[in-house]
């Protein structure tokens, strides 16, 4: 068989399970997952290679109407995902309103790319409801493959892979076969810390935070990592640290444990908080944090 390779871009509304699906297709926890909207802020590639194929998945932020500059950058990642795809995985779930974001659906339809619709979270629904959604999406994307799945329970994931392989064009690999992602170690450390912040802080706090690894020094038996948590305002600094430093300690402990599992090495993690005033609205800060690379 000739070698096949291509880009499979995962798009959809916030919180429908895009990142859970990518991790499950790649078999590694590359993307962070939480119950909160806008967990994913970047485009993150996950690469799966075999002897005669290479699939380059991209996880993307959920689609939204931008209300500040950070979100504008996030939506640029989503838009470019429609340009360079060989296959689009359009993710929806059994909970979201089907007519949310009609403009984006129109863009996907007009892209003329092969679309696979994934109706996720069927573990929360019943057969009748799922069949209704199946009909609905069949009308929206005529000719598209539609798979009801549960990414959480890893139900019906295998057939997606088989179908992608059929749709991929013939061609050589884009990345070395042993490469798993386009992101570096610092990025994953930042994301691990950000996941803990999304989990433990409420309201606007997780959205006002950016995490930056200042130093990542790998030694034989340990990795020393210094990480800054940037907040938008002075008042948020105290909230992140918490009474007697309890909150930030918890973030640090949990992030360190996850990182030790991810990097398979002992970690010394140092966290501190800095104010980067209104960084979500500033081009310079957004560039510093990597939101200018599409
Ligand atoms: N019950 C159920 N929950 C799921 C399933 N897949 C994902 N979830 C949950 O849905 C929430 C959102 O999952 P994510 O994978 O972060 O969703 P996302 O689409 O990447 O979200 P954003 O990055 O914020 O756009 C998490 O709490 C997941 O555990 C599923 O099949 N069933
Ligand atoms: Mg996500």
Q: Where residue 294 falls among pLDDT bands split at 50, 70, 90? A: low
Q: How many domains does the chain have?
A: 2
Structure confidence at residue 14 (pLDDT): 94
Query: Which ligand is located closest to the Cα atom of residue 12?
Result: 1
Whether residue 91 is found in the same domain as residue 135: yes
Q: What is the pLDDT of residues 15-32, one digit of tens each?
A: 999 999 999 999 999 999
pTM above 0.75, yes or no: yes
For 140-176, how does the pLDDT look when each residue is reduced to its tens digit (9 = 90+)?
A: 999 999 999 999 999 999 999 999 999 999 999 999 9
Q: Tokens 């129109």 identify what position?
A: 106
User: What is the reported pLDDT for 1?
Assistant: 74
User: For residue 14, which atom of ligand 1 is closest to its CA?
Assistant: 25
Residue 151 CA, ligand 1 centroid: distance in Å? 8
Residue nearest (by alpha carbon) to ligand 1 atom 10:
17
Q: Which long-range contacts (CB under 8 A, 24 or more apart) does 38-41 make?
A: 38/14, 38/62, 38/64, 38/71, 38/74, 38/207, 39/15, 39/195, 39/198, 41/70, 41/74, 41/291
Residue 175 lies in a domain: no
24 is in an annotated binding site: no
Q: How far is the CA of 20 from the centre of ligand 1 (A)?
A: 6
Residues 135 and 214 occupy one common structural domain:
no
Tell me which residue has its CA closest to atom 11 in ligand 1. Answer: 35
Confidence of residue 112 (pLDDT cuts 50, 70, 90): confident
Asked whether residue 221 is domain-assigned, the answer is yes
Segment 231-255, tens digit of pLDDT:
999 999 999 999 999 999 999 999 9
What pLDDT sits at residue 252?
98
CATH code of 83's domain: 3.40.50.300
146 and 62 within one domain: yes
Is position 151 within any domain? yes
Residues 60 and 139 in one domain: yes
Tell whether 234 is in a known binding site: no
Lowest mean pLDDT among 102-116, 179-193, 248-262: 102-116
73 belongs to an annotated ligand binding site = no
Query: Residue 34, annotated ligand binder?
Result: no
**pLDDT, tens digit, 9 for 90 and up, residues 272-288:** 999 999 999 999 999 99
**Residue 129 above 80 pLDDT?**
yes
Q: Give the residue from 114, 141, 167 where a domain finishes.
A: 167
Supply the Cα-derived Rg of the chain in whole angstroms.
20
Please give the pLDDT value at position 101: 84
Mutational pocket test of ligand 1: of 15, 121, 126, the residue with most ligand atoms within 8 Å of the beta carbon: 15
Structure tokens at 217: 């020094």
- On whether both 125 and 59 belong to a single domain, the answer is yes
157 shares a domain with 23: yes
Q: Which ligand is nearest to the CA of 199?
A: 1
CATH code at 211? Answer: 3.30.300.20
Same-domain check for residues 282 and 148: no
The boundaries of the domain holding residue 207 are 185-288
Residue 103 located in a structural domain: yes
What Å distances lie between residue 251 and 81, 189, 203, 258, 272, CA to CA?
Answer: 32, 12, 17, 11, 11
Residue that finishes a domain, picked among 137, 167, 197: 167
Ligand 1 geometric centre to CA of 8 (Å): 19
Torsion of Cα atoms, 55 then 58 then 63 then 65, to 10°:
-140
122 in the same domain as 13: yes
Tell me, yes or no, whether 178 lies in a domain. Answer: no
């Amino acid at each position: 068989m000739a070698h096949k390779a291509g880009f499979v871009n995962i798009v959809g509304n916030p919180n429908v399970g895009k990142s859970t699906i990518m991790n499950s297709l790649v078999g590694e926890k590359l993307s962070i997952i939480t119950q909160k909207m806008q967990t994913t802020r970047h485009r993150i590639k996950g690469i799966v290679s075999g002897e005669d194929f290479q699939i380059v998945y991209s996880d993307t932020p959920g689609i939204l109407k931008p209300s500040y500059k950070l979100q504008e950058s996030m939506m640029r990642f989503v838009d470019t995902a429609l340009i360079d795809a060989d296959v689009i995985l359009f993710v929806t779930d059994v909970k979201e309103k089907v007519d949310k974001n009609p403009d984006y659906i129109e863009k996907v339809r007009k892209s003329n790319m092969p679309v696979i619709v994934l109706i996720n979270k069927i573990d929360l629904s019943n057969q009748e409801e799922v069949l209704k959604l199946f009909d609905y999406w069949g009308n929206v994307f005529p000719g598209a493959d539609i798979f009801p799945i549960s990414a959480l329970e890893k139900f019906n994931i295998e057939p997606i892979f088989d179908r992608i392989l059929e749709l991929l064009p013939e061609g050589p690999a884009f990345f070395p076969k042993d490469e798993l992602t386009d992101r570096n170690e610092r990025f994953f450390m930042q994301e691990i810390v950000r996941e803990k912040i999304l989990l433990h802080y409420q309201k606007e706090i997780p959205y006002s935070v950016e995490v930056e690894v200042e130093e990542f020094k790998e030694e034989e038996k340990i990795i020393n990592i210094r990480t800054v948590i940037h907040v938008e305002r002075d008042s948020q600094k105290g909230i992140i640290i918490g009474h007697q430093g309890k909150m930030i300690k918890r973030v640090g402990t949990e992030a360190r444990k996850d990182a030790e599992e991810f990097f398979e090495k002992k970690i010394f993690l140092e966290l501190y908080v800095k104010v980067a005033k209104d960084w979500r609205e500033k081009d310079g800060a957004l560039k510093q944090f990597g939101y200018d690379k599409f």
